[in-house]
Amino acid sequence: MKTWLDAWPVFRQLTGPDPLGRGAAARSKATENVVSRTATADRVVQSVCPYCAVGCGQRIYVKDEQIVQIEGDPDSPISRGRLCPKGSASKQLVTSPTRVTTVKYRRPFGTEWEDLDLDTAMHMIADRVLEARRKGWQDDNDGKRVNRTMGIASLGGATLDNEENYLMKKLYSAMGAIQIENQARI
């Protein structure tokens, strides 16, 4: 009888040392068995939040090659383990059900998306780059050598890695494209 009553949270709350029911009184067998996803993860990877430029440290918890949780990294001298609402929600950024993970193609004057395989898309884009480059090519402008194409433009977001920005600027410059811009202008 005692055991049965003790298992009843309201009884413990009324008779025990936790009258507000926010501690021991509220615990149950189920509570005891709960284990956080961070504890059962296969590995923890140190990363950086992708939203604003404060650069808060993140710990990404992975189980069975899936991200199961993202939390603040207490080691970071910048953020000391904190994350804001966006950083705290960033697991959903990765696991969002509306995320589009396959190539989509809209043909000229088309009314719907079509599927395309990645390799075909890459080669189609390469064809178009070469054609646009040729079409917009200028050896000279107003009598001055410019050695460039005005046919291709690019606008990058400022969540690009430095290494990505570097390859972009390098490749675009080599193809002669100059209208290369970034959110940093905005």
Partner 1 sequence: MAECHPVGFQWVGEAKARGAKVVHIDPRFTRTSAIADLHVPLRVGTDIAFLGGLIKYVLDNELYFKEYVVAYTNAAALVSEDFVDSEDLDGLFSGFDPERNQYDEASWQYEPEEPPHSGSDHPAEAAEQKAIEQHSDVKKADRAQAAGSGGPPIASKPKRDETLQHPRSVFQVLKRHFARYTPEMVAEVCGIEPEVFLQVARWVTENSGRDRTTAWVYSVGWTQHSVGAQYIRTCSILQTLLGNIGRPGGGILALRGHASIQGSTDVPTLFNILPGYLPMPHALQHGSLEEYCADAAGKAGFWGNKRAYMVSLLKAWWGDAATPENDFAFDYLPKIDGDHSSYRTIADMIQGKVSGYFLVGENPTVGHPNGRMNRFGLANLDWLVVRDLQMIESATFWKESPEIETGELSPDTIGTEVFFMPAATHAEKEGTFTQTQRLLQWRHKAVEPPNDARSDLWFYFHLGRILRERLADSTDPRDRPLLDLTWDYPTHGPEVEPSAEAVLREINGTGPDGRAVSGYLELKDDGSTTCGCWIYSGVYADEVNQSARRRPGREQGSVASEWGWAWPYNRRILYNRASADPDGKPWSERKAYVWWDEEAGRWTGVDNPDFEATKRPDYVPPEGARAQDAIAGTDPFVMQGDGKAWLFAPAGLVDGPLPTHYEPAESVVENALYKQQANPTLEHIEGPWNRENPPRSEVFPFQVTTYRLTEHHTAGGMSRTLPYLSELQPEFFVEVSPELAELRGLTNGEYATLVSSRTAIEAKVLVTERIRPIRLRDGQVVHQIGMPYHWSYSGISTGDGANDLLGIVLDPNTHIQEDKVSTADIRPGRRPRGPELIEFVEGYRRRAGVESGRVGVNGRDPVAAEAGEGSKL
- CB-nearer residue toward partner 1: 18 or 62: 62
Nearer Cβ to partner 1 (17/85)? 85
Between residues 37 and 123, which has the closer beta carbon with respect to partner 1? 123
- CA nearest to 57, candidates 66, 69, 45, 48: 48
List own/partner pairs for 56-59 with CB under 8 A and 24 or more apart: 56/82, 56/83, 56/84, 56/87, 57/81, 58/83, 58/87, 58/90
Smallest gap from Cβ 95 to partner 1, in A, equals 9
- Which DSSP symbol is given to 60? E
Contacts of 27 (CB under 8 A, 6+ apart): 9
Query: Dihedrals φ, ψ of 138, to 5°?
Result: -130, 120
Q: Which is nearer to partner 1, 3 or 162 (CB)?
A: 162
Least CB distance to partner 1 at residue 120 (A)? 10
> Closest distance between partner 1 and the C-beta of residue 97, in Å?
9
For the CB of residue 39, give the shortest distance to partner 1 in the complex, in Å. Answer: 17
To partner 1, the closest distance from the beta carbon of 91 in angstroms equals: 9
Residues 6+ apart with CB under 8 A from 14: none
Q: Are 183 and 74 in contact (CB under 8 A)?
A: no
Give the residue with the Cβ less far from partner 1, 17 or 110: 110
